[in-house]
Amino acid sequence: MNRRIRVLVVDDSALVRKLVTDALRGDPEIEVVGAAADPYAARNKIKELNPDVLTLDLEMPRMDGLTFLRILMEQHPLPVVIMSSLSQRGSEFALEALRLGACDVLGKPTGSHSFGELGPQLIARIKAAAGARLARRGAAPFSAQAVASARVPPRATVISARQIILLGASTGGTEALRTVLTRLPAGLPGIAVVQHIPPVFSKAFADRLNEQCAFEVREAVDGDRLKPGLALVAPGNFHLMLQWRGDHYAARVTGGPQVWHQRPAVDLLFKSAADCGAAPHAIAGVLTGMGKDGAEGLLRLRELGAITFAQDEASSVVYGMPRAAWENGAAQRQLALDRVADFIAHPQLPTSDAPALASALS
C-alpha cells in the first residue's frame, strides 16, 4: 500500500482547523500529521513533521499567509492548498497566492454548518496537490504599453461570428490560463473558458485577467453574447454552455448536477459547442488539471472538425486532464504551455489534419 499523504493544517481558527482535520481524516489515503495556528508555528512543524501538503489560511496574526507562502516557496517549496474567505479581499489574496505557486484554492468555511461539500472537494484538491509539480511563478503578462498596442487588431483580420476558442483547466489552471490569455493579441474570435474554481473567486479571476489582457475578459452571465474581442469565464459553481442564436453564440449559465465531480465542467462547455455546430470553426484545448474532465467533449469536437490540443506533461502542474485528452485521441497536438498562445493565434497541424485547419479558419 502506498504511503498516505501527510497534511499540515495551518489556520488561526481552531474551528476551521478541527473541521479540516475531521474531513481529511475520513479518507484512508490522507494522514493529518499536525496543525498550526500561525506561520511561525507552521515553520517549526514543517521541519519536525515533513508534510507532503499544507492547507493554508491567508489572513492570520503575526504573519499573513501571503508573506509566509512567498518565503516557503523560496526556501522550502511544498504543495499548498489555500483556504480563503469568500470575499473580494479574500479572492484577491487567493489569486495572488496562486501566482506565488500555491496549487489550488478553496473557499474557507465559516462554521460547522457551512462545510457542506467542502470536505470532498478539499480531499480531491489535497490529492491533486500531492502529485503536482510545483509551479514556477508564471510569466509576466504584457506591459501596459504592450496591452494598449495589442488592443488594435490587424487591419486584414476578418473574423467570422462562427469562429470560437474554447479552453478548459483545473489544478494549476489559473496561472496556465493567465500565461496563455495575456500572450494572445487582440483581433481573435470570442473565447469561452472553464476553470474549476469556487464561487466569488471566478469573478476576481476574470477581473484580474481583464486588466492584463489585450481584449475584454469578464465572468459569464446567462444570455451573454460571445463575440470577437471578448472572453467569458464560467462562474464558480455554475456550468457554462453555448447556444447558436441566429448570428451569434450565447452563453447559458446554469446549475445542475456536477460532471466529473465538477461544476463548472469543461465537458459541458465542449459538448454544447459541438451540439450547436461550432466544431468546424473552433480551436479547443485542455490545460493542466486533475481528472478527466474535458476529454470526452474535446474528442467530440475533434471528430466534428475542430482543431484540438492538450498541454504537455512537462509543463503541466497536474497531467491528468491533458493526459486523458491525449490518450483518448481528442487532442491533435501536445503543447508546452509557453507555445499554446502562439498555436491558438497561428495553428499549425500535421498535413493529415489540414482540412480541419482550413475549415476552422473559414
| Residue 139 domain-assigned (yes or no) | no
The string of pLDDT tens digits covering residues 328-352 is 999 999 999 999 999 999 887 655 5
**Catalytic position from the list 11, 52, 57, 293:** 293
Residue 84 has pLDDT above 60, yes or no: yes
> How many whole angstroms separate alpha carbon 213 and alpha carbon 186?
9
pTM: 0.86
Q: Does residue 42 lie within any of the structural domains?
A: yes
More confident of the two residues 296 and 135: 296
Q: How far is CA 213 from CA 154, 156, 163, 191, 228, in A?
A: 16, 21, 20, 12, 14
Question: What percent of the chain clears pLDDT 70, i.e. is strictly above it?
Answer: 87
Query: Looking at the structure, do residues 125 and 211 belong to the same domain, yes or no?
Result: no
Q: Are residues 90 and 32 in the same domain?
A: yes
CATH number of the domain bearing residue 298: 3.40.50.180
Q: Are 344 and 180 contacting, i.e. CB atoms less than 8 angstroms apart?
A: yes
Q: Is the pLDDT of residue 172 over 80?
A: yes
Q: Is residue 138 part of a domain?
A: no
Q: What is the pLDDT of residues 12-28, one digit of tens each?
A: 999 889 989 999 988 99
Q: Are residues 347 and 286 in the same domain?
A: yes
**Mean pLDDT across 108-129:** 78
In the predicted model, what is the mean pLDDT of the chain? 88
- DSSP assignment of 175-201: HHHHHHHTTPPSS--EEEEEE---TTH
User: Can you give the pLDDT at residue 198?
Assistant: 86
| % the chain with pLDDT above 90 | 70
Give the residue, 188 or 355, on which the prediction is more confident: 188
The pLDDT, as a whole number, for residue 157 is: 57
Residue 301 and residue 307: Cα distance in Å, rounded?
8
Spatial distance between the Cα atoms of 250 and 242, rounded to a whole number of angstroms: 6
pLDDT at 151 (0 to 100): 41
Which of 279, 31, 27, 18 has its CA nearest to residue 166?
279
* Residue 50 resides in a domain: yes
* Res 145: pLDDT: 40
Q: Which of 130, 159, 180 is the last residue of a domain?
A: 130
pLDDT score of 192: 98
**pLDDT of res. 115:** 66
Q: Rounded to the nearest 10 degrees, how much is the dihedral formed by the CA atoms of 318, 321, 327, 331?
A: -110
Predicted confidence band of residue 219 (pLDDT cuts 50, 70, 90):
very high
Judge whether 66 and 97 are in contact, CB under 8 Å.
yes
170, 272, 315, 316: the active-site residue = 170
Q: Please report whether residue 136 resides in a domain.
A: no
Q: Based on the residue annotation, tell me whether 149 is a catalytic residue of this protein.
A: no
Does 109 share its domain with 212?
Answer: no
Confidence tier at 135 by pLDDT (50, 70, 90): low
Of the residues 105, 130, 155, the one at which a domain ends: 130
CATH of the domain at 68: 3.40.50.2300
Q: Does 353 lie in the same domain as 321? A: yes
Within this chain, do residues 84 and 163 fall inside the same structural domain, yes or no? no
Q: What is the pLDDT of residue 313?
A: 96
Q: Same domain for 62 and 188?
A: no
Flag whether pLDDT at 190 surpasses 70: yes
What total number of domains does the chain contain?
2
What pLDDT, on the 0 to 100 scale, is given for residue 261? 86
**207 and 330 part of one domain:** yes
- Give the pLDDT confidence score for residue 90 in this predicted structure: 80
Indicate if 192 and 44 belong to the same structural domain.
Answer: no
Whether residue 98 is found in the same domain as residue 182 = no
pLDDT higher than threshold 70 for residue 70: yes
The residue from 95, 130, 165 where one domain ends is 130
Between 100-109, 217-226, 327-336, 337-346, the lowest mean confidence (pLDDT) is in: 100-109
* pLDDT > 90? residue 298: yes
The catalytically annotated residue of 52, 85, 196, 239 is: 196
Q: Is residue 91 part of a domain?
A: yes
Q: Is residue 13, in this structure, part of any structural domain at all?
A: yes
Confidence of residue 113 (pLDDT cuts 50, 70, 90): low
Question: Does the annotation count 196 as an active-site position?
Answer: yes
Residue 148 has pLDDT above 80, yes or no: no
Q: Are residues 112 and 235 in the same domain?
A: no
Question: Does residue 168 share a domain with residue 125?
Answer: no
Query: Which range among 5-19, 151-165, 293-307 shows the weakest confidence by mean pLDDT?
Result: 151-165
Residue 137: inside a domain: no
Quote the domain boundaries for residue 185: 144-360
Q: Does residue 116 have a pLDDT over 80?
A: no
